[in-house]
Amino acid sequence: MTAPDGAGDVRGVAEDALAWVDARRAGFALGEDALSADGEVDRSWKPLGELAQVCATVTRRTARSDPLHARARALLDFAWRETEEGELLLRLQRLEPFATYPLEVYASLAAAGFRHPAFEAAAAVVAGTRGWRLTEQDPTRRLGVRCAEERCGIRPRGQAPPAPRGTWLGGLPEPWTFERAAGYALTHVVFHLTDWGRADDALPPDLARYLADWLPPWLDTCLDAGMWDLAAELLAVAATLPRPTDDTVPPDAWRRLGAARDPSGAIREVGREDGDGEVGDPARYFAHHYHSTLLAAFAAVLTTARPAGRPAGPRHGGQGAPA
C-alpha cells in the first residue's frame, strides 16, 4: 500500500481542498439568473451539481466522526437550500422540460438523500417519451442521464447495469490514443458506472483490467503537462478499481498533485497561476479553481477510503517495480 508519508499527502489534499470549497461556498450559489433564458447553466447549475455530487461521495465514504464528513454534509445542506429544497428544480423543469441537466443535478442531490417527489413525477412524464430517449447527446452523457433516471426511480433498474455502449472507454481503445477529450469522457464513464465512487465493484472486469493497465501513463503525462484537473479525475478513477493501486498510481502522483496547490488550498485546473490571484480577481480565480479543487477532494477521499490490506497478489509476474 502507499507509504505513510504518501497517505499524509492524500489526506492533506482532501482537507485543504474541502476547506477552500467551504470557505467559498458563495461561489456555488445559484444567482439570480439561474432560471433566466439567458443565464449560463455552466456558471450556475453545473458547479452546484458538481458540489453536490462530490459531497455526496465524501459523506458516503467518510466516517461520521470525520471532520470532512461534517463539512461535506453542511455543503450538501447548503446546496439543497440553494435549490429551495428542490422547488427551483421543479420550476426549471417546467421552463425547460426537455433539458436533461435538471435531472442530472437533481440526481446528485438525491444521492445525498434529498427528494422532491413532485419533481420526480414531472421528470417521469417527459422521460417516458421517445423524444427524451433519443435526445442527441454524447454516449457518455447519455450514460449519465440513464444512471440519473435509475437513481431517481424514473427508470426501473435493469437487471444489468447500464453499459457504456458507444463510449470511448467502452470500446477499450488503444491507450496511446488518449488525449484530453478522451480522458474526460473516460473518467465520466467510470463515475457514472460507479455512482461517483459510491458503489463497490461496479466495473466490469475487462474494463477494470484495462484501466489498471493504462492509468499509469495517463496519470504520469497529465501531471507532467500540468493538467491537474484531469489528473485528479484519473486518480479518482484509480481509487474505484477493485484491485489495489500500488501498481496503478505512480508513487509520486499525490505529491505532484499536492505540489500544485495554491497557498489558498485550491488547485488550478491547468498549469500555473497567471492572473491577479484570488484577491485580485476572485471570480476568475474561482472559475479556474473550483472544479479541480472539488475533484481533488473527491479523488483524495476515495483514495483514503480504500480498504487497507487487500491482498495484492502478483499479476503478470508482478508488473511494476517494488514500491
Partner 1 sequence: MEQSGTSALLQGAVQDLASGVVSALRGGGHPRVVLPADTGGAAGELALAAVRVLGADAMLPSVLLRTPPDPAEAAVFRKAVEAHPPRPDAALSVRWSHWGMARTLRRIDPSSPAGPPDEPGTGALDEADWQSLTRQLAVLAPLALPGEDCAVSRAAVRRPVDVARGFVRAVRRRDWRQAAGAGRWLTLLPGVPDTLGLVSGLDFVELMGGQDPLVALHVQAARLMRTGAPV
Partner 2 sequence: MRSDQKVLEELTAIQAADIEAALDPAETDGVYRDSRECAALALAGGSGGLLLSPPAPRPKKG
Residues that bind partner 1 (CB under 8 A): 172-176, 178-179, 210, 213-214, 216-218, 220-221, 224, 250-251, 316-317, 319-322
Cβ-based nearer residue to partner 2, 37 or 308: 37
Do the beta carbons of residue 3 and residue 253 sit within 8 Å?
A: no
Give the shortest CB-6-to-partner 1 separation in angstroms.
15
321 binds, among partner 2, partner 1, none (CB under 5 to 8 A by kind): partner 1
Smallest distance, partner 1 to C-beta of residue 303, A: 20
Judged by CB under 8 A, the chain residues 278 through 307 that form the site for partner 2 are: 287-288, 291-292, 295
Distances in Å between the Cα of 187 and the Cα atoms of 9, 77, 184, 203 are 22, 27, 5, 12
Collect all residues with Cβ–Cβ distance below 8 Å to 247 and sequence separation of at least 6. 212, 216, 315, 319, 320
Q: Of 124 and 182, which CB lies nearer to partner 2 in the complex structure?
A: 182
Please choose, from the candidates 255, 192, 187, the residue with its C-alpha nearest in 3D space to the C-alpha of residue 218: 187
Q: Which stretch binds partner 2 (CB under 8 A): 45-53, 81-89, 126-134, 249-257?
A: 45-53
Per-residue CA distances from 210 to 130, 138, 143, 152, 243 (Å): 34, 22, 19, 30, 12
Closest separation between CB of residue 238 and partner 1, Å?
14
Long-range pairs for 34-39 at CB < 8 Å and ≥24 separation? 34/88, 34/92, 35/88, 35/91, 35/92, 35/95
Any contact of residue 268 with partner 2 (CB under 8 A)? no
Q: What single-letter DSSP state applies at residue 307?
A: P
- Binding residues (CB under 8 A) for partner 2: these are 40-43, 46, 49-50, 53, 100-101, 104-105, 108, 136, 138, 140-141, 144, 179-181, 184-185, 187-188, 191, 221, 224-225, 227, 229-230, 233, 269, 287-288, 291-292, 295
